Amino acid sequence: MSETLAAVAPISSEAIEAARARIAGTIVRTPLVRLQTGDDGPQIYVKLENLQPINAFKLRGAANAVALLSPARRSLGVWTISAGNAGQGVAYAARAAGVPCTVVVIETAPETKVERMRALGARLVKAPFDACWDAMERRSFPGVEGTFVHPFDDDDFIAGNATMGLEIVEDLPGVQTVVAAVGGGGLLTGVASGVRARKPGVRIVGVEPETAAPAALSLANGAASIFDGWQASFVDGAGGKSVFPRMWERMRPLIDDSIVVTLDETKAAMRLLAEKARVIAEGAGALAVAAALSGKAGRGPIVAIVSGGNIELSTFCALIGAT
């Protein structure tokens, strides 16, 4: 279904507050917990979005976006594109609204995420990464009908994500830096919008894995860029082959810096979260902690967003055992 896209514009504080009221009965106000890093380590707090009902932050945006669809658009059913977490979020919100849902799933998505989407009632269509990435720009996919809920380039989705930013500032008024993983950019843009609505001076930092870091490259180039060295890894929920130009428009005014972490640093962060906080984080969920531990985000107080915990336990054990 072709559509004329609205020009990119900042997410207003009014839209964020309205989203918070709208999704309050669906999402969890997740805790902010001090991470014990020793006397010499940075002062890090973790925002535990892995405790959402779908174990990932995507429920915030999905719940808001689906709730705002008109009855006519809902009647067509909804669909999205996902490596797993956005698909779960849209499927969860669609099921609650009694709306059919289809998810075009990146074929390398972990089986635990695939099974959870299926359990939420979604019809699944698997496709290669490149086909899914192209479809997110075109907002269409062969053989899939209904109302498309974009997993990141959508004002309503971003406003839902932004509610996390309000919670961070309320729970830690002295926060100096917020670090969030970058995939499509919806998490970082949303959190930054929410934080800056209350505390404009907070530093906002994106983080990506070394195998998929187009946002860092875009920041260095001053323009949305393609990351030619992209490789698939266990960090399946963040990083991409490029930054969409529209998302670059959204992110650029809000992001102060970008950090790239190694896969080994990410595994070490996953292990530390398990050992110190008894938190299970997927690869993307541990990126912000890895960046904070590196010292490149400053001394703190830092809030590192644990964006999700959807990972097969056997995979998790193998990864943290290898550090």
Q: Mean pLDDT per segment of 10 residues, for the chain of length 323 residues?
A: 80 98 97 92 97 98 97 95 94 95 93 94 95 93 96 97 98 98 97 97 98 97 96 92 95 97 98 97 98 96 98 95 74
Quote the pLDDT of residue 323.
58
**CA–CA dist 167, 314 (Å, integer):** 33
**CA–CA dist 249, 184 (Å, integer):** 12
Amino acid (1-letter code) at residue 69? L
Q: Within the chain, which residue ranges are assigned CATH 3.40.50.1100?
A: 13-56+155-321, 59-148
How are beta strands 44-48 and 32-35 bridged, if at all?
A: antiparallel
**CA–CA dist 92, 301 (Å, integer):** 34
User: CATH number of the domain at 13-56+155-321, out of 3.40.50.1100, 1.10.287.110, 3.40.50.1240, 3.40.50.720?
Assistant: 3.40.50.1100
Contact 175, 205 (CB under 8 A): no
**CA–CA dist 237, 208 (Å, integer):** 10
Quote the pLDDT of residue 1.
44
Helix, strand, coil shares of the chain, percent, nearest 5, are 45, 15, 40
The total number of residues shown for the chain amounts to 323
Q: Which CATH class is domain 59-148?
A: alpha beta
Retrieve residue 179's tokens. Answer: 């670090």
- pTM, rounded to two decimals: 0.95
Quote the pLDDT of residue 3.
65
Contact 271, 320 (CB under 8 A): yes
Retrieve residue 309's tokens. Answer: 């915990």
Calculate the alpha carbon distances from 277 to 45, 84, 196, 302, 312 in Å: 11, 25, 28, 16, 19
The DSSP H or E segment spanning 132 is: helix 129-138
**CA–CA dist 159, 182 (Å, integer):** 16
